[in-house]
Amino acid sequence: MLQKYRDRIHIIGQKNQGSTFARNIGIKEAKGEYIVAFDHDDILLPYALRVYDEVINYYNHPPMIYSKIKIFEKKLEEPNHFYDGKNIVTRKFKNYFKKNIALPMINANMIAKRESILEVSGYQPNSFAYDDHRLLFRLGTLNPFIAITYPVTVGYRKHMDSWSRNAEYTAKGALALIKDERENTYPGGKRLKLDRRGLIGSNLLNNFKLKYFGLKDIKLILRIILAARTMLLVAFIRKFFSYFYKYEQYIIELK
């Protein structure tokens, strides 16, 4: 199917070596200023690129933008259900670690400068279901961090074969993220330690629920709890303090 568009896109073929390797090759070969990575269960809504372009220009080419996603299981509503085309609502934070709104995290709603991704060596190997998290945390101190709160620009289809529902695959990624934090891999030092660990704890509390996996996976869940330890408690502490974090909200009106 891709061969039909050879005059418009650059097709790279290679032996399968995993998604992180493929993404990194794509990033190195890309010519654009910004990168967005997509999986087979992600949908870019028709107006999304215009929204990104407006936000990029409004904020004078920020290093990273996060957009709003719609999670669905069977069928996504029509695009006009999500956007009236009149304006874009955004929030400007000092950086990702200082955000104070819930933002579902997948590769498809992270719009980051190519040079910024290359500076942190791109996606990390052996990230499993947490390749997006481990990259985002490496970019966590980039300033400013822009969050698009309206409109939705990406649809994410959850299904029984999603990696996010594979307990072992998800657990391996979570353990890699926790290990990185324990080894002081991420930027921000002691100053942002509470934020980093609180965000990790919040993610674990949201992802590792028995309703997603089951009693058969209880050993994996206990292993995550043991590895995370105080991070789960810190999630609640950070949640309280985040209500006092500063941000600026802007409405971009379209002509």
Per-residue pLDDT of 192-235, as tens digits, reads 999 999 999 999 998 876 556 666 778 888 889 899 999 999 99
Distance of alpha carbon 192 from alpha carbon 186, whole angstroms: 10
- Whether 9 maps to a domain, the answer reads no
Residue 141: both structure tokens together: 């101190």
Contacts of 180 (CB under 8 A, 6+ apart): 134, 137, 186
- Whether 47 maps to a domain, the answer reads yes
pLDDT of residue 206: 87
Helix locations, the chain, DSSP H: 19-29, 48-58, 114-119, 131-138, 167-182, 193-207, 218-228, 231-242
Burial code of 177-186, b = ≥16 C-beta within 10 A, e = fewer?
Answer: bbebbeeeeb
Residue 250: both structure tokens together: 């802007």
Residue 148: both structure tokens together: 């698009």
Give helix 231-242 / helix 193-207 axis angle, nearest 10°.
Answer: 110
Helix (H, G, I), strand (E, B) or coil at 154: strand
- Whether 64 maps to a domain, the answer reads yes
Residue 64: both structure tokens together: 């990273």
pLDDT range class, residue 100, cuts 50, 70, 90: very high
Distance of alpha carbon 210 from alpha carbon 190, whole angstroms: 33
- Whether 121 maps to a domain, the answer reads yes
Average pLDDT taken over every residue of the chain? 91
pLDDT of residue 82: 86
* Number of neighbouring beta carbons within 10 Å of residue 59: 16
For the full predicted model, state whether its pTM sits above 0.75.
yes
pLDDT of residue 57: 97
pLDDT per residue as tens digits for the range 148-186 = 999 999 999 887 666 666 778 889 999 999 999 999 999
| Out of 126-140, 147-161, 235-249, least confident range | 147-161
- Whether 12 maps to a domain, the answer reads no
- Whether 31 maps to a domain, the answer reads yes
- For residue 76, the enclosing domain spans 27-253
- Whether 50 maps to a domain, the answer reads yes
Contacts of 111 (CB under 8 A, 6+ apart): 34, 35, 36, 52, 64, 65, 66, 67
pLDDT of residue 81: 82
Average pLDDT of the segment spanning 55-76: 93
- Structural domain count of the chain: 1
- Whether 230 maps to a domain, the answer reads yes
Average pLDDT of the segment spanning 118-147: 95
pLDDT of residue 94: 97
Greatest Cα pair distance in the chain: 55
